[in-house]
């Protein structure tokens, strides 16, 4: 296997990301139709993305996360959590990237705490994102444990 092939996402990883994106949309309560309209996609295109019948692109993930008000870094952290045993080179690259390309906003993960979810109408944008992330993580755990 070549270095390039090893670096590419596997079909399983793409399916996991597409499935998590589908779950995030469902948990957000925003319709596929609205997302498709706001992203300029034809009707039914989002379903084809989620079913992996069309190629999942980064613009799809970014657009959906923006529309459902979920920070994309939080989405990827929930779906592809950092390995605890990451090599030192990877940690060094990650730190350098943070310094070279700082996030234009505070990350949502800093404010996530466990506990019961407050009433939706009492939530601000960051609290809504934190709530959505908690629910998304639970769905991912359920899928991994139960194959659902």
pLDDT tens for 32-56 read: 999 999 999 999 999 999 999 999 9
- Point out the least confidently predicted range of 19-28, 57-66, 91-100, 122-131: 122-131
Q: Could you give the count of Cα atoms lying within 13 Å of 130 in the half-sphere of its Cβ?
A: 19
Other beta carbons less than 10 A from residue 27's beta carbon: 18
- Distance separating alpha carbons of residues 60 and 72, to the nearest angstrom: 11
- Whole-number pLDDT of residue 108: 45
- Whole-number pLDDT of residue 114: 40
Task: For 67-81, give the DSSP string.
Answer: HTT--HHHHHHHHSP
Average pLDDT over the chain, rounded to an integer: 78
Give percent of the chain with pLDDT exceeding 70: 73
- Whole-number pLDDT of residue 33: 96
pLDDT greater at residue 124 or residue 139:
139
- What average pLDDT does this structure show over 98-102? 77
- pLDDT exceeds 50 at position 110: no
Other beta carbons less than 10 A from residue 46's beta carbon: 24
């Amino acid at each position: 296997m070549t270095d390039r092939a090893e670096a590419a996402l596997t079909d399983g990883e793409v399916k996991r990301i597409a499935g998590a994106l589908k779950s995030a949309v469902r948990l957000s309560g925003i319709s596929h139709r609205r997302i498709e309209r706001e992203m300029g996609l034809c009707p039914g295109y989002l379903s084809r993305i989620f079913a992996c019948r069309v190629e999942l692109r980064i613009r799809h993930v970014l657009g959906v996360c923006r529309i459902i008000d979920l920070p994309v870094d939080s989405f990827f952290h929930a779906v592809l959590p950092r390995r605890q045993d990451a090599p030192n080179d990877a940690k060094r690259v990650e730190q350098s990237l943070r310094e070279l390309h700082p996030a234009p906003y505070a990350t949502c993960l800093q404010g996530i705490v466990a506990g019961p979810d407050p009433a939706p109408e009492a939530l601000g944008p960051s609290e809504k994102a934190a709530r959505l992330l908690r629910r998304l993580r639970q769905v991912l755990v359920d899928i991994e444990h139960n194959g659902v």
